[in-house]
Amino acid sequence: MTTAIRTQLINLARLRTTWSYSQLNDQLQLGLNFSNSLDRDLIGEWLGEVSIHEYERGRPLISCLITHQYGMREQGDGFYKLCEQLYGTNWESLKTNKTWENQLIAECYEFWLAPDNYRNFKNDW
């Protein structure tokens, strides 16, 4: 499942857009029910696996492109908690830093729009 999610995230980056968790669920037909905490945890695990994979290879955390459906393009708390582990910065501070968040998204767009990066890394799973 994580391969399909990563492929879709790369496509989103190349389109310079974000999706909600629900859009990802619907478009990839994941069959998750987000009123169920186990399903919310599962999508978080899958997105976390993708983020860790990209981080370990020095690439942007592409799962930042998945946000809550409502509100101002904000990722779930699990994303920020993962960033706390990876970057050593308090997750609540990261969550309130919209400049940092927007920079992450911009870095994903820039990285995956570069033809060499796309060609060399799109199948790197």
Q: Per-residue confidence of the chain (125 residues) as pLDDT tens digits?
A: 899 999 999 999 999 999 999 999 999 999 999 999 999 999 999 999 999 999 999 999 999 999 987 656 678 889 999 999 999 999 999 999 989 999 999 999 999 999 999 999 999 98
Write out the residue range of the structural domain in which residue 79 sits.
Answer: 2-121
Nearest CA to 11 among 27, 22, 26? 27
Domain total of the chain: 1
The model carries a pTM of: 0.91
Exposure string over 78-99, b if 16+ CB within 10 A, otherwise e: bbbbbbbeeeeeebeebbeeee
